[in-house]
Amino acid sequence: MSCRLSVNLNKIAVLRNSRGGGEPDILRAAATCLDAGADGITVHPRPDARHTRHDDVMALAALTRARGVEFNLEGNPFAPPREGYAGFLALCEMVRPAQATLVPDADAQLTSDHGFDFARDADALAPLVRRLKALGCRVSLFADAGCDIAAAAATGTDRIELYTGPWAEAHAAGRGDAVLPAFAATARAAHGAGLGVNAGHDLSQANLGAFLAAVPGVDEVSIGHALIGEALYEGLATTVSRYLAILRAA
């Protein structure tokens, strides 16, 4: 099966929230991506509601369910609930996403910038993984290249999601070949442990093809920031189609 594309719509919500009101419409953006062939939709609602909000999660869950496509909900399962944010596991209980991606981002982080330390976090993650799987969610854990795959697998997770920020940075600097072996080795180790492999963060049209050519068996990429930025120039449907062409070529 070829690698699947899930479009992260957080940046649509950022633009909407900067002005207030309902434009741009995150549901219309999701429908446009799906009409263009995207395999699913991703959002990462944060406790401070800086972009995707509780109501967005509910609406996108309904849309993806009606379309028969996957909804991938990302979040930090250890972040406490607060006004306007029910908590990651509570959101998953409400909408039963096809995939729940657990990410160790602190409230103050601008964006996710590292994976779990599985040697340290596996015992705490394991019961959360069980709860999510009991809801029918496929579970993915955000992971750095070179992470402890045995400890990750011990949590009972279905997949890891490789944090590709270091690859994107190295590729832009002309030294991508130096970091690819670690990503490829981690993917192979995950497959050997029975885990699927996703990838995401700063992937773009410029660096996606080379990554997939070097890293075996990537099941899904989640792309938002670059895709939405590129779409400002070329349109959302055209940009999604170009990503899908890269995935087919890989």
What pLDDT, in 10s, does the model give residues 51-79? 999 999 999 999 999 999 999 999 999 99
Lowest-confidence region among 51-55, 94-98, 113-117, 139-143: 113-117
- Catalytic residue, chosen from 44, 161, 171, 220, is 44
Q: Does the pLDDT value for residue 112 go beyond 90?
A: no
pLDDT at 167 over 90: yes
E strand or H helix that includes residue 152: helix 149-154
Return the beta strands (E) in 123-188 as ranges.
138-143, 159-163
Catalytic position from the list 51, 70, 171, 201: 201
CA-wise closest residue to 145 among 75, 89, 200: 200
* pLDDT surpassing 90 at residue 218: yes
Cα 75–Cα 80–Cα 81 angle in degrees, nearest 5: 90
Active site residue 201: yes
The three-class DSSP label of residue 71 is strand
Which pLDDT tens digit goes with each residue over 16-30?
A: 999 999 999 999 999
Q: With 0-12 CB in 10 A as exposed, 13-18 as middle and 19+ as buried, what is 103?
A: buried
Cα angle vertex 37, ends 204, 102, to 5°? 60
Give me the catalytic one of 51, 70, 74, 171. Answer: 74
Instruction: Classify 113 as helix, strand or coil.
Output: coil
| The pLDDT of residue 240 | 98
Q: Summarize the confidence of residues 159-183 as an average pLDDT.
A: 98
pLDDT at 108: 66
pLDDT band at 207 (very low <50, low <70, confident <90, very high): very high
Retrieve residue 29's tokens.
Answer: 């953006």
Phi, psi for 110 (deg, rounded to 5): -65, -40
* Res 114: pLDDT: 85
pTM: 0.95
DSSP category for residue 166: H
Q: Which domains does the chain have, with CATH numbers?
A: 4-245 (3.20.20.70)
Strand pairing partners for 101? Answer: 74, 140
Distance CA 183, CA 170 (A): 12
